[in-house]
Chains A and B, each alone.
Chain A
Amino acid sequence: SQTIHQWPATLVQPVGSPLSLECTVEGTSNPNLYWYRQAAGRGLQLLFYSVGIGQISSEVPQNLSASRPQDRQFILSSKKLLLSDSGFYLCACRRTVSGNTIYFGEGSWLTVV
């Protein structure tokens, strides 16, 4: 089965600073990869997904961007963080050969101050 690693687990950044959250997947190849955000007390919102290297789809307009430089690596970035970017970010993976179940990593807490 696949394993999803995210880092850093916790991050406190000042407003206007850059962001890089990294996600790597083990145990599968050519997965679909996702970034979700969970704001405090709310459900999950899909931010980006990728079906292959260099292929990124954005679900909502925002201050963030995503990149997929390698098959099992997915990076969430920002050039200048806003207070509203604070939240819990979850990387997720779907094995394209095994149906429609999406599995999640352990998440990264981002606090923008």
Chain B
Amino acid sequence: AQSVTQLGSHVSVSEGALVLLRCNYSSSVPPYLFWYVQYPNQGLQLLLKYTTGATLVKGINGFEAEFKKSETSFHLTKPSAHMSDAAEYFCAVRGNAGNMLTFGGGTRLMVKP
């Protein structure tokens, strides 16, 4: 079975500061990992994904994440936060059956001016 733990349900950073959102996963098979973002009153949108190959993956809006198998982690980072980054971020792992994703509890990112 797969599971995802996101450390910190709320993260607050100042505009221009580093963004670090933490995600640890558990998977019985080689994982496919995803970060999705949810802006207020909208559905989820894919930020980036890791399937195979390079462990550092780049996504939209300047976000990137690094797959670390030894640490079972897939943390999301962005060098410089922007006000428009304020949203809820979900880490997810793909399951064995179909394309079903198991999501973490989400981290709400707040960006202070």
A is bound by B: no
B contact residues vs A (CB 8 Å cutoff)? none
Chain A interface (Cβ < 8 Å from any Cβ of B): none
